[in-house]
Amino acid sequence: MASSEREAQKFDETASVYEIDIAIENNTIIVGTNGGNVTGAPGDKIMWRATAGTPPFSLAFFQLAPEPAVKLGARASARARAGAAKGHTDVAALARWPFVEPPEPPGGITAPALSFCAKLSGNFEPPTPFKYTIIVGNLQLDPIIIIDR
C-alpha cells in the first residue's frame, strides 16, 4: 500500500474520502466514475491514483471566480451576492490551493506521481469552486472541485 493510500485511511469519521482513478485510453485521460468532479466539505480527503500502466500525473489547481450578476433575484446565493457586490475579481490574487494538507508545492503544481492525497480546507466562504488540471505526459483534463458547507 502506497503512503498516500495509508494517508487516505487516516481521517475523521465525519469526513468523506473521494478516490479518483486516472487512466489513459486511446490517448485520452479518463478520470473517476463521473469525470473527476468533486463536491466536498472542509476536512474531506481526495485521493487521485493512476491505474495500472498509467504514467505519473501532476495536478494544478485554480479557484474559479463567478461572473457578477447584473440583477439579483430573491433566491440569489451568498456567492452571487458577494460577486455582485465586488464586481471585477482579480483572479490572479485568488487562492489556488484548496487543501489544508499537504502544503502547496512550489509553483502550485504537484510533482509527477502515481498517487496524491489531500485534505480540503475550510477557509473558503461562501462555498468555492476550484478547477484542477490533470497532466499526464502531453495530455490534460480539467475537472472541478466545489468546497461546500
* Domains assigned to the chain: 3-63+97-147 (2.60.40)
Higher pLDDT, 128 or 9: 128
**Greatest pairwise CA separation for the chain in angstroms:** 53
How many other CB atoms sit within 10 Å of the CB of residue 124? 19
40 close to 147: Cβ distance less than 8 angstroms: yes
Whole-structure pTM value:
0.79
Nearest to 49 by CA among 10, 8, 109: 8
pLDDT value at 32 more than 80 = yes
Quick: pLDDT tens for 88-104: 777 788 888 999 999 99
Nearest to 130 by CA among 88, 90, 99: 99
